[in-house]
Amino acid sequence: MNTPQLAFIGPLGTGEMIMIFIVVLLLFGAKKLPELARGVGKSMGEFKKAREEFEREITRSEDDVRREDRPKDVTPKTAPDKESREA
């Protein structure tokens, strides 16, 4: 079974997750629980958007740096023209 793992706590089993749910239920009450879950969901969505935007910005910056590092005065080598080969 694959259980969630937090670095500072360790693996969380089903029993631990049920206890956490019960404590949250007692603290906030059954009426506030859906509102709390919606808030957590929205926060996670905003965090995901911010993370994706950050990753896009980093990738774009890396691409810009790679373009700047390329030599600018190098022209591609082409095959000689027919006229220059005939001469």
Name the residue among 7, 6, 33, 8 with its Cα closest to residue 17.
6
Residue 37 belongs to what domain range?
Answer: 31-64
**75 lies in a domain?**
no
Contacts of 65 (CB under 8 A, 6+ apart): none
Q: Which amino acid is at 83?
A: E
The answer as to whether 54 is a domain residue is yes
Query: What are 26-76's pLDDT values in tens digits?
Result: 888 888 888 988 998 999 999 999 999 999 999 999 888 888 877 666 565
Overall size of the chain counted in residues:
87
- Each as own residue / partner, the long-range contacts of residues 33-41 (CB below 8 Å, 24 or more positions apart, any chain) are none
Query: Residue 20 domain-assigned?
Result: no
Quickly count: other Cβ atoms within 10 Å of residue 36's Cβ.
13
Residue at 60 is within a domain: yes
- Cβ burial, residue 65 (10 Å; 0-12/13-18/19+): exposed
**Total structural domains in the chain?**
1
pTM of the predicted protein model: 0.48
**Segment 3-20 mean pLDDT:** 75
